[in-house]
Amino acid sequence: MSKAKKITVNKMSKVTTIVVILVGIAALGVLATNNICSNCPSSSSTGFIGNSEADGNKLIVNLNADNFNMTVSKGVVLVDFWARWCQPCLIQAPVLEEVAKKISGKAVIGKINVEYSASLANRFAVQSIPTLILFKNGVETKRLVGVHSKDVLIKIINSEICGEN
């Protein structure tokens, strides 16, 4: 290959690389915006958030200082402490949607955005997110930190419902 062809190929490789990087950055920006916005707290007064709001199934309760005590005081409630900028939290969100569908009527799934409810995060000494706390009749019975599978979450909820510890 002649020297002129090598220079042209090298320039084209660099240009191609730059274009691919720029397209990738733009695509990531679009994906991040869609993921973050689908998990942002709803501005509605219903107290329910997530994809469930769009289809009318009120599966996950948006918790805050006003409704937290009343919500966790009765039955089994799994509370997710999260933030919209937290990538593991965004990974956990669709899993919680699946869990909410599976356990609907047996337990409640709630979410607390730590950006807006820092007092609740402090009250329960949440230091990492996502933190999932399971309550039974207002008492913390189990705490999980990090992302967990649907099967693990359903198992701990069912064991609490059945009274097995």
Residue of higher predicted confidence among 56 and 76: 76
- The DSSP secondary structure of the chain, one letter per residue, reads --HHHHHHHHHHHHHHHHHHHHHHHHHHHHHHHHHHHHTSPPSSTT-B-SHHHHTT---EEE--TTTHHHHHTSSEEEEEEE-TT-HHHHHHHHHHHHHHHHHBTTBEEEEEETTT-HHHHHHTT--SSSEEEEEETTEEEEEEES---HHHHHHHHHHHHTT--
23-32, 47-56, 68-77, 154-163 — which is least confidently predicted? Answer: 47-56
Q: pLDDT value at position 163?
A: 79
Mean pLDDT, rounded, of the chain: 78
pTM: 0.66
Active site residues: 86, 89
More confident residue, 47 or 161: 161
pLDDT digits (tens, 9 = 90+) for 2-48: 665 555 555 656 656 565 454 445 444 433 333 333 333 333 333 43
Predicted confidence at residue 15, as pLDDT, reads: 59
